[in-house]
Chains A and B, each alone.
Chain A
């Protein structure tokens, strides 16, 4: 995707930070790709952050370097709450944060994602939001069974439940009330889409999809974190159009879009992930996703450099 260029001298390289919870395969690939793209990349740990909310970007990052010396901060925290708050603070100081706070905040919250996509006219499964088990059961009756209960905030297929009837739904909602915090008590109920044993994960850079995979599984939850198998998915004009519109609706950036194939052939946007995992996706697609991300970051910092010079 990106042509490898000879590395720039260390002193002239734009400096970016990658904020992480720890280093996974993705962060290792990204750091290498950022260096190949001609950037200097400092890795910062979210566990070490101490942010003075009454001061500005002149304060030191955990490595002692003033935050304002970074031309971009790539948020790669596995902790969504830490990543969101860090993005909010750093962006408030005028720093370039990737992904932008507003985009990440929309994607981190399934209710906000649904609303944002609905306003943009993006096709998606029917959804009901309710705040009590009783209202949730009524909402599920409207959707009809089977249906899917999801945490409003959550990932990796955690705590998803496919409920086949009101008895199952009642049990799940009762457990959520007893075991969960308030976020778990919000009822986000989604129409169950009978998938063809797979879903689609499309990778978007900016607002353009660069590749996609099928995630196949005998289980109805097809996340690769839950054992879904990845294979290449062609970027059809319909898929490209859906991804471009959905990415634009949430503000664009580095995004992984989950798409469902409905039995009637329609493509439905299911979720958008703002801290994409891609370790298993470059091989089947033949696309160097880390290099594409690094190129996006490099292009984002170039205007900053131009302004400074």
Chain B
């Protein structure tokens, strides 16, 4: 079970997101409720924003 750092709301659907204690700044996470891709833009205080949409040149 992940150690939970603190709870924060999804900026898209307001569902509570549990962020693990080892979360990194600029890490991408998926909202378990709406499936939206979110980016952790601040750790202290914890803040989420919608991740930038996939661009044409993204890939491996």
Contact = CB atoms under 8 A, between A and B. Distances in A.
B60 A256 contact: yes
Interface string B30-46: 00000000010000000
Interface residues of A, number: 26
Given A22-B39, A22-B51, A43 B24 contact: yes
B43 to A, nearest CB: 12
Contacts of B51: 22
Contacts of B26: 20, 22-23, 43, 45
A144 interface: no
Interface in B1-57: 24-28, 39, 51-52, 55-57
Contacts of A22: 26-28, 39, 51-52
Interface residues of B, number: 14
Nearest to A24: B28
A154 B56 contact: yes
Contacts of B55: 79
A275 B60 contact: yes
Given A22-B28, A43-B25, 19 more contacts: A22-B26, A23-B24, A23-B26, A24-B27, A43-B26, A78-B58, A79-B55, A79-B57, A80-B57, A80-B59, A81-B57, A82-B57, A154-B59, A156-B58, A158-B59, A273-B59, A273-B60, A275-B59, A275-B60
